[in-house]
Amino acid sequence: MAWTWCIRSAGHVPVEEQAAHLRELRDGYGSAEAEPLIAMMRARQNQIAGAEAANAENPALPAARRLHAREAVAWATNDRDLIRRNEKLLLAAPR
């Protein structure tokens, strides 16, 4: 999940700067295609949100783990929504 340092809803980093970080990541991996990378990011965030939502409701887990699960759901959904709102900008990140 190297992309997690690039795109974050927390921290109030301007989306243009985040797009530039994503471009740096893509270049670091040999100019990975933007569309499949962003699709993978959204898919992974959906997986995390789904799995952690189940953990958040699991009474067999300790309270601290359920709290962590709720925080993970918030992180994944907030970051996924940021990508959805700014996908065109992220796809067009200049070199």
Dmax over CA atoms of the chain, in Å, equals 49
Domain boundaries, the chain: 35-95
Q: What is the pLDDT of residue 86?
A: 92
Q: What is the pLDDT of residue 50?
A: 96
Distance set, CA 77 to CA 13, 38, 44 (Å): 17, 14, 11
What are the structure tokens assigned to 54, written together?
């189940």
- Please, which pLDDT band fits residue 45 given cuts at 50, 70 and 90? very high
CB 8 within 8 A of CB 57: no
Sign for the pseudo-dihedral over CA of 87, 7, 39, 31: positive
Asked whether the predicted pLDDT for residue 82 surpasses 60, the reply is: yes
- The proportion of the chain whose per-residue pLDDT surpasses 70, expressed as a percent, equals 94
Q: What is the pLDDT of residue 7?
A: 83
Global pTM value: 0.83
CB 76 within 8 A of CB 52: yes
In 1-95, alpha helices (H):
15-28, 34-56, 63-85, 87-91
Please write the tens of the pLDDT for every residue from 5-33: 778 888 888 999 988 888 888 887 776 78
